[in-house]
Amino acid sequence: MNPVAAFPHVFFLGIGGIGMSALARWFKANGHSVSGYDKTVTPLTEALAAEGIAIHYEDAVANIPAEVRQNRAQVLVILTPAIPQNHQEWAWLREQGYDIRKRSQVLGLLTQGRPTIAVAGTHGKTTTSSMVAHLLHHAGVPCAAFLGGIAVNLGSNLLLPPATAPAETTPVVVEADEYDRSFLTLFPTVAIVTSTDADHLDIYGHKDALVDSFRQFVGQIQPGGTLIINHTADPSVAAAAPVGVRVIRYGLSPEQGPELYADRITAQGHTFRFALHGPHGDVSALELAVPGHHNVENMLAAACVAQAYGLTPEQLRAAVAAYRGVKRRFEFIVTAGSPEQPNVYVDDYAHHPREIEAFLRSLRTLYPGRRLRVVFQPHLFSRTRDFAPGFAESLSIADEVVLLAIYPARELPMPGVTSELILSQITATEKSLQTKEEILRNAETNANFDVLATVGAGDIDQLVPRLKNILNIRWNGAEA
């Protein structure tokens, strides 16, 4: 019995979120009437509306569709944590006794009784889960996927299996989010843990509590299942795997003892070439067109899952070569100039010091000697407070750092917590605080950079199309 079949109507509070919109698409594709609220119009909400989903942007009970207001027992309400406590529609739905679930709870329902490949980690999970889904899909293995980003190959954050694929044997790939312990609604067949670095300390208080939640998640792997875990993760997490669960550690360096590793890693242009060595066999001459050593590492974990599902070395080589990444993950926006003197604009979602360090070091590897300007928007007051020194250290890899004001997301301002906390500790030669308009103006008038990167998880992506046009005119002599 489909656990959500009793709800012909589904209403989303925060439908424009990347994870929420994937669920909205799933319900729409499976015959439910779908509608929702979001705070602002975005390209994602516009895409959902074009797919036939009714969305409103003003918080008022009267804006809730009549079919939702008049059929309480037949409505499932799905809530994002970003909705504030004083939200009028949420308050009314609570008062009326609607069935209200978090996104993570609904993912738990949808994966019940299905083989589930859950990708967890404080960074790398969106890319790795998209890689798993792509490798299986490219090779013709029926699967479903709920992703935390728009996979370029799919053009979506949702992958639906063929209608003829039996649910009980068709794997579901899900991004398992540690925020608010959401991933504890999942009971995976295969779990990948990419990292257990400290994050979300506004929820957990300290890293030990975060690591404990990962231990609980790993403890929920199904009997006979598999844990694929980065060798840098806290050792206690792998130790929490139930008896009978196979544990496979992975990493780039065989000297550090992982069972799954890469060697012969070389970079040429944007392509990284490497060989995979692992428990399901070795595969040589893999070519990944999404750059960065961290992405080679992510692909190791994804490829291990694909091998377990029967992909041959030839299928794996073809699928890896065809992978084109996730929007806003090392996304090349503008490329110009010669191979010897390149000009490049790259956009990335990185919002944790470790992510930023991996991204910027990869840029340095790809473009040695080129002058690098980084524009970063800190995400959350609590994360800025907790990791300001780490942000400053990683950003200082650049020649010039420009900071935007903190993007608050779900948080209220905190006394004394501003972007200046990071700026004051940056050691790059040039650093400044700027508004979006100042950043655009300086891109037009200040040509003192060869490589530009915009980085962050807030609304910094609003700058991308305008910077793209400015740099296309400057570097290529024409608008995009």
Binding residues for ATP: 121-127
Q: Which residues, 6 or more positions from 210, have their beta carbon under 8 angstroms from its beta carbon?
A: 122, 178, 196, 198, 199, 200, 201, 204
Q: Where are the alpha helices (DSSP H) in 96-234?
A: 103-110, 125-138, 201-204, 207-218
Quote the tokens at residue 57.
Answer: 């942007």
For residues 179, 185, 190, 191, the Cα torsion angle rounded to the nearest 10 degrees is: 20
DSSP 402-437: EEPPPB-TT----TT-STHHHHTT--SSEEEE--HH
DSSP 79: E
167 Cβ contact partners less than 8 Å away, ≥ 6 residues apart: 113, 114
- Joined together, the tokens standing for residue 286 give 């893999």
Q: What is the DSSP secondary structure assignment for residue 472, as one 8-state letter?
A: I
Cα separation, 415 vs 385, in Å, equals 10
* Cα 282 from Cα 305, distance rounded (Å): 14
> What is the β-pairing status of strands 430-433 and 283-288?
unpaired
If you count them, how many residues does the chain have? 480
Reading phi first (left if > 0) and then psi (alpha if -120 to 50, else beta), residue 409 is in left
**Tokens read off for 472:** 């296309």
Q: Which residues are annotated as a binding site?
A: 121-127
Q: In what order do the strands lie in the sheet with 342-348?
A: 331-337, 342-348, 451-456, 372-377, 400-403, 430-433
Helix (H) or strand (E) holding 174: strand 172-175
